[in-house]
Amino acid sequence: MTRSEPMHILQQGMTGVRGGVERFIMNLYRQIDRDLVQFDFLIPYDMPPMAYEEEVRDMGGRIFRSIYPFRRAPWRAETELRRLFADHPEIGGVHMNVCFPYVYPLTVAARSGVNLRILHSHEGDGFFENQHRGWRARLVERQVHRYPTRYFVCSDNAAYLFPNEPYTWVSNGIDTGLFRFDEMVRHMVRARLGIPDDAHVIGFCGHLNSRKNPLFALDVFAAYRRMEPGSVFVVIGLGELEEELRRRIVALGLTDSSVLMLGGGRSDMHELYQAMDGFVLPSTLEGLPFVLVEAQCAGLTCVASREAVTDQAAITDLLQYRSLSDDARVWARALREGVARRVDRASYASRVAAAGFDMRATAAMLQEIYLTEGGRS
């Protein structure tokens, strides 16, 4: 690789949905100086179109479908990765963005002479109940402590993945200007969704699964609506609990106009936050949720679960914590009190940036690491 060529960093962690990890990688990709650093993407061989795939290709990113399941095809799993690194000596680093103990591509990268090998934990402990058991767990544990050259975390509780290793905290940076509150956008989005200007709007964004706890979020909204008739609940996400959530909506006597199910994978989240007044996240497991950074940047009152969400997510005074053992009415009252404060919402974008959550600062830090530590030996 000559000096005129960018450093290539292989990013692993993208899936077919636009979740928090995917948003982190893409926020970083958009802000990095691509004349100096270019991203490639490592995904499973049989994965359908990757989230943001068209945008990635437009920015010059290459997508390698070279991950094969080690349990079913160990020989091919190693061979394909070895071939990838052999065919592309310009790849000087691997950045693995993971939510569970998995490090095998870094093992092959080390054997292939790749100098920079990052293991980046994005989730709190407890993602898999059986992750620390059996010989496979012991093998992964040895790999975790041997092959990465850098350990990154989104929050302190995410460091469970590599105990006793020195780690670097990497903030879940966002484009703070994009999420800054805009009154005109608020009116536009509400008009598009058929929401009256005077209605209280509570939002929820996340996979509709047990970890994100959308059924309890709905209970919180039902309690809120009893205090504030005419309120609207906006749900963004898809998942296995969608049908059960729809049944619960009917059982609670909520109308179609009071609960808007907007699906997942949306590209207009920055606009949807403007239409909301409050945000609820009663997760049972988290690292440092992107949605709470975005929601606070948009000036939204937020209430999150004390058991799952790290204190590091409270980057402004907008975020309150309540216990999952508390009644839904307790959560609803906290939301209502926050909404009643009527804060200067537009001022919170600068507060979020000052707290270190602007992606420009995160990108500058990571770019320096990529350039100074990446390469081949």
Place of tokens 């020195």: 166
> Are the beta carbons of 111 and 85 closer than 8 angstroms?
no
Measured CA to CA, the distance from residue 58 to residue 51 in angstroms comes to 13
- Residue 44 DSSP SS3: strand
Confidence class for position 287, pLDDT limits 50, 70, 90 = confident
What the chain holds in terms of domains, given with CATH numbers, is: 7-173+358-373 (3.40.50.2000), 176-355 (3.40.50.2000)
Confidence class for position 3, pLDDT limits 50, 70, 90 = low
Confidence class for position 123, pLDDT limits 50, 70, 90 = confident
Does residue 308 register a pLDDT over 90? Answer: yes
Residue type, 191: A
- Look at residue 129 in the predicted model and tell me its pLDDT: 44
H and E: helices and strands count for the chain: 14, 13
Average pLDDT over the chain, rounded to whole?
92
Q: What is the mean pLDDT of residues 203-210?
A: 95
Strand 319-322: give its sheet, edge to edge: 259-261, 232-236, 201-205, 278-281, 301-305, 319-322
> Are the beta carbons of 224 and 254 closer than 8 angstroms?
no
Q: Which of 52-66, 122-136, 252-266 is least confident? A: 122-136
Beta-strand ranges (E) seen in 45-127 are 62-67, 91-98, 116-121
Q: Which residue has the higher pLDDT, 159 or 61?
A: 61
HSE-CB for 68 with a 13 A CA cutoff: 15
Measured CA to CA, the distance from residue 206 to residue 302 in angstroms comes to 14
Beta-strand ranges (E) seen in 276-318 are 278-281, 301-305
Residue type, 158: A
Does residue 315 register a pLDDT over 90? Answer: yes
Q: Calculate the dihedral angle through the C-alpha atoms of 194, 200, 205, 209, rounding to the nearest 10 degrees.
A: -100
Does residue 135 register a pLDDT over 90? Answer: no
Beta bridge partners of 221: none
Q: What is the 3-state secondary structure (H, E, C) of 124-138?
A: CCCCCCCCCCHHHHH
Q: What is the pLDDT of residues 68-115, one digit of tens each?
A: 887 777 889 899 999 999 999 999 999 999 877 778 999 999 999 999
Closest CA to 141 of 157, 165, 117: 165
Q: What is the pLDDT of residues 258-285, one digit of tens each?
A: 999 999 888 899 999 999 999 999 999 8
